[in-house]
Amino acid sequence: MKVLMKGNEALGEAAIRAGCVHFFGYPITPQTEVPEYLVKRLPQVGGVFVQAESEVAAINMVFGAAGVGVKCMTSSSSPGISLMAEGLSYIAACELPCVIVNIMRAGPGLGGILPSQSDYLQATRGHGHGDYQLIVLAPSTVQEAVDLMTLAFELAERYRNPVMLCADGMIGQMMEPVEFSGEGRGAPLAENDWALTGCRGRARRIVNSLYLTPELLHRHNVKLKDKYDLVAAKEQRWEVYNGEQAYDMLLVAFGTMARVCKTAIDELGQAGLRVALFRPITLNPFPLAACREAMDGASAGAPVLTVEMSMGQLVLDVKLAVAGSRSVELYGTAGGIVLSPDQVAERIRSLLGQRANPTICAQAQADGVPCPEVGRDCAICARVYAPHG
Amino acid sequence: METTEVVMAGFGGQGMLLAGKILAQASLQQGREVSWLPSYGPEMRGGTANVIVCISSKPIGSPLVESPRALMVMNLPSLEKFAPKVRRGGVIVVNSSLIKRDPRRNDCVVIQVPARELAQQAGSDKASNFVMLGAYVGATGVVPAEAIEAAIEHEFCGDKARFVAANTAAFRAGLEQARKALQGSSS
């Protein structure tokens, strides 16, 4: 049965259904409903909720809990995630499973509390020190946030690696219908040979990231690299929207911006312009080959347009995918401003320029008035015609 | 059914976010796709609060809508901010208990609702938001009235069940107000 839930609360419930009953965190807008929900729910399912004294403490509590083999998580928003960088590097080095939720807000610094995607590079490029990687998942709806939360715990356990779920303030704050799979509290971690569970009757286990012998540390890094390569080979996820037939242009966007792009694409479709969207769901590993394939489906010579709520982060991976085969344009925004479908549609039109298929807005035709600009769609006409004030 | 959107705006505390939630819940029960996106910027007590509800038979793309098909406004600042953005042919429901200014949108259906007076008659000073919701539903038929009434019961359960009667009465008063207004304009 579908229920109407806020993104943040749905993430909390999804964690419990995935078997996570240990939460450590510290409040920060716009993610506070995650701990607010869990502080109410976790005692009902025999779980543990700790409000730490800081994000630094929270991530180290996660480190400890993961080390003794319990499914655990923390959540925060951008400035709080920055504080967790050191702990995440240690957790990744020790190969411990856990989930980190980042409900991104506008930065840098204290920034603002409105939605943003400007922690893309922080999330996908390791974020703390040393050669480590997080697996990074990016939902674009509340339902997908729930589904990816389940996946996050599965991947964390399978690869013994921290997994970050990156959403933004809009997905965290909005309500949408969601359906949960499974009932009540999910299963704990499976039996394993690494968790510190007390060594009576067996050999000691050690969770440690200190390797003072260069050869041993090198070997450890090679092992991690092999794991990341395996993740990259097996776990890439993406969606192509409106790509069934030939298209004039390809957009690349994730999360909130991807759904805004879908609306823009639908509106342009009514005006006869064919535009497709490539949406990475795993930001790391980034689906480079699939992205390249989607680009190759666009009309020759048309640029690839990257739309993101940051000033040029996702676009760097898009450039890796395109590998010089065509030009890449960036439509970025910051400060918590979410681009509207109309703004995205306008940018696409201007980039396609002469390529636009001239279509007069149907509404304007029906009303017997000239469309203010040939090739514009009804939504824009409606706005232009609306008497202001 | 096509996609529709409504912006509900007023002072914080006037219940627009709750009215939006009821509308979203009712639409969900009707098998529709919905999104409920509140404004959550830094606001002081007594500041403005608004929510955008999108309802569609298809998955909702952008939950953020620049030019909604409908608007429900509780106070003057919200009217001034949002009325110019409503699409041509849209519906604007105005709380005439507080707003004495016309929205100046001859290309829209404008419904004036004395929300506070009707809420008081329905038995609750606080139910102006449900009067407004009733007028919107009455003017647009976006969901059946029964679906809203079921959603009110769903929302006000347990200790809060005592609020169901007055809120439902307020909602019905709003429906009636919209019917009268539309009859008046068509004759």
CB-CB: which of B33, B62, B86 is closest to A341?
Answer: B62
What is the band of A127 on the pLDDT scale with cuts at 50, 70, 90?
A: confident
- B135-153 b/e (C-beta count within 10 Å ≥ 16 → b): bbbbbbebbebebbbebbe
pLDDT of residue A376: 42
Q: Do A340 and B64 touch (CB under 8 A)?
A: yes
Nearest chain A residue (CA) to B25: A4
* Per-residue pLDDT tens digits for B30-71: 999 999 999 977 777 778 899 999 999 999 999 999 899 999
* Per-residue pLDDT tens digits for A197-209: 999 999 999 999 9
Q: Do A174 and B87 touch (CB under 8 A)?
A: no
Residue of higher predicted confidence among A77 and A385: A77
Q: Which of residues 285-324 of A touch B (CB under 8 A)?
A: none
Q: Do B63 and A174 touch (CB under 8 A)?
A: yes
* Per-residue pLDDT tens digits for A153-179: 999 999 999 999 999 999 999 999 999
Q: Do B61 and A266 touch (CB under 8 A)?
A: yes
Give the Cα separation of B125 and B119 in Å (integer): 6
Q: Do A4 and B84 touch (CB under 8 A)?
A: no
What is the band of A353 on the pLDDT scale with cuts at 50, 70, 90?
A: confident
Q: Establish if A22 touches chain B: CB-CB under 8 angstroms.
A: no
CB A78 within 8 A of CB A104: yes
Mutate to test the interface with A, among B29, B64, B80 (most CBs of A within 10 A): B64
CB A349 within 8 A of CB B69: no
**Mean pLDDT, rounded, of chain A:** 92
Contacts of A169 in chain B (CB under 8 A): 40
Q: Do B36 and A389 touch (CB under 8 A)?
A: no
- Cβ-Cβ contacts under 8 Å between A and B: the total is 91
Residue located via tokens 């796709």: B33
Q: First vs last Cα of chain B: how many Å apart? A: 28
Of the candidates B162, B168, B161, the residue with the CA atom closest to the CA atom of residue B122 = B168
Nearest chain A residue (CA) to B155: A4
Strands A135-137 and A162-168: parallel
Q: What is the mean pLDDT of residues B83-107?
A: 95
CA distances from A239 to A254, A344, B178 (A): 10, 19, 44
Nearest chain A residue (CA) to B86: A386
Mutate to test the interface with B, among A29, A176, A239 (most CBs of B within 10 A): A176
Q: Do A169 and B40 touch (CB under 8 A)?
A: yes
Q: Establish if A346 touches chain B: CB-CB under 8 angstroms.
A: no
Strands A275-280 and A3-6: unpaired
pLDDT of residue A22: 98
Report field, pTM of the whole predicted structure over 0.90: yes
pLDDT of residue A367: 62
Of the candidates A36, A71, A53, A122, the residue with the CA atom closest to the CA atom of residue A62 = A71
Contacts of B63 in chain A (CB under 8 A): 170, 174, 176, 259
Give the Cα separation of A174 and A167 in Å (integer): 12
* Per-residue pLDDT tens digits for A130-158: 999 999 999 999 999 999 999 999 999 99
Give the Cα separation of A324 and A101 in Å (integer): 34
What is the band of B186 on the pLDDT scale with cuts at 50, 70, 90?
A: low
Q: Which of residues 92-131 of A touch B (CB under 8 A)?
A: 113-114
What is the band of A388 on the pLDDT scale with cuts at 50, 70, 90?
A: very low
Of the candidates A279, A15, A287, the residue with the CA atom closest to the CA atom of residue A150 = A15
| A365 pLDDT above the threshold of 80 | no
pLDDT of residue A382: 47
A388–chain B nearest CA distance, Å: 5
What is the band of A220 on the pLDDT scale with cuts at 50, 70, 90?
A: very high
- Length in residues, chain B: 187
Contacts of B37 in chain A (CB under 8 A): 170, 173-175
| A313 pLDDT above the threshold of 60 | yes
Question: Rounded to the nearest 5°, which phi and psi values hold at A242?
Answer: 65, 25
A260–chain B nearest CA distance, Å: 4
Question: Rounded to the nearest 5°, which phi and psi values hold at A113?
Answer: -105, 0
Of the candidates B95, B131, B129, B89, the residue with the CA atom closest to the CA atom of residue B111 = B95
Q: What is the mean pLDDT of residues A33-46?
A: 97
Nearest chain B residue (CA) to A363: B88
Give the Cα separation of B131 and B172 in Å (integer): 7
Q: Do A386 and B104 touch (CB under 8 A)?
A: no
- Length in residues, chain A: 389
Q: Do B37 and A340 touch (CB under 8 A)?
A: no
| Beta-bridge partner residues of B70 | B6, B91
Q: Which of A57-61, A75-79, A300-304, B116-120 has the lowest mean pLDDT?
A: A300-304
Instruction: Classify residue A247 by its DSSP letter.
Output: B
* Per-residue pLDDT tens digits for B145-175: 999 999 999 999 999 999 999 999 999 999 9
Mutate to test the interface with B, among A1, A3, A4 (most CBs of B within 10 A): A4
Give the Cα separation of A92 and A207 in Å (integer): 11
- Residue A13: CB atoms within 10 Å: 18
Q: Establish if A2 touches chain B: CB-CB under 8 angstroms.
A: yes
pLDDT of residue B47: 82
Q: Establish if A384 touches chain B: CB-CB under 8 angstroms.
A: no
Q: Establish if A176 touches chain B: CB-CB under 8 angstroms.
A: yes
HSE-up (13 A, CA, CB side) for residue A281: 17
